[in-house]
Amino acid sequence: MKLKCHKHIERFFIIILSLFFLASITWAGSQQASTTLASTIITNARAYLNEESTADTLFWSDAELLVWLNDGLVDLVTRSRCLEATEEVTLVSGTLEYSLSNAYIGITGAIYSDGSAYKALRMGDIREAGHAESDSGPEFWYEWNGKVGIYPIATSTTAGDTVAFYLIERPTAITAATAVPTPAYYDHILTMYIVAQAYMKDTKVDMAASWIGEYYKAIDRFRADYTHHTKTADEAR
């Protein structure tokens, strides 16, 4: 029995890994937040689990379903990039790195402005800082330990100019009485994630793998439906 269980678990993780590597990184569609409460999504998940009672003998508690919902929010935003934010930093002469106040999962890009013109910066390398030269202001950016580096380093000429960073926000944990921050078209996908985790707790590995597979496919479908990815000049080469 133990050997059979190990094989099921191994197959589950193989499915997860294969689906993960098949997924491509793209930009998300509408950011209009859903008005659906977390408690409603939990109720919907219970319907799929055939456990709609509110008795004290529930196999899955509301508290643990809420934990999985919050886990699902982070996973969903990471994969779909559906929560976006922009944060500007003001360049200071002789300063290489700047702190960002937003909690973020990743940075999509950066745009430099001198107040009248705009220029997209290219992703650089921390090992190149201080070696690149330019007469037209910053050219590159990098991220390290929650800070962003911008180089060539600002001089008295470019001090006061700005660089806008385009971020994928990290969602904060919500309560059952709070509406989910993701777009409405992801409500059902969050439900899928919760159901998959619930079946894992119940050691129904095949059911869990089936639901998490549908979860990944649904995210990929919305990527295809709502995303148009235009290659940069460097990517097109």
Flag whether pLDDT at 213 surpasses 70. yes
Spell out the domain ranges in the chain: 2-82+181-236, 92-169
> Mean pLDDT, to the nearest integer, of 199-207?
95
* Distance in angstroms (rounded) separating the CA atoms of residues 116 and 121: 16
Q: By the 8 A CB rule, do 52 and 46 touch?
A: yes
Could you tell me where the beta strands, DSSP code E, fall in 73-224?
84-90, 97-99, 104-113, 118-123, 140-144, 147-151, 162-169
CA 152 from chain centre, in angstroms, equals 29
Q: Convert the pLDDT of each residue in 121-165 to its tens digit.
A: 999 999 999 887 777 789 999 999 989 999 999 999 999 999 999
Distance, CA of 180 to CA of 177 (rounded, Å)? 9
**How sure is the predictor about 116, in pLDDT bands with cuts at 50, 70 and 90?**
very high
| pTM, rounded to two decimals | 0.77
Give the model's confidence band at 221: pLDDT under 50 very low, under 70 low, under 90 confident, else very high.
confident
- The pLDDT, as a whole number, for residue 32 is 83
Residue type, 30: S
Residue 43 confidence class, pLDDT cut points 50, 70, 90: very high
Strand order in the sheet with 97-99: 84-90, 162-169, 104-113, 118-123, 140-144, 147-151, 97-99
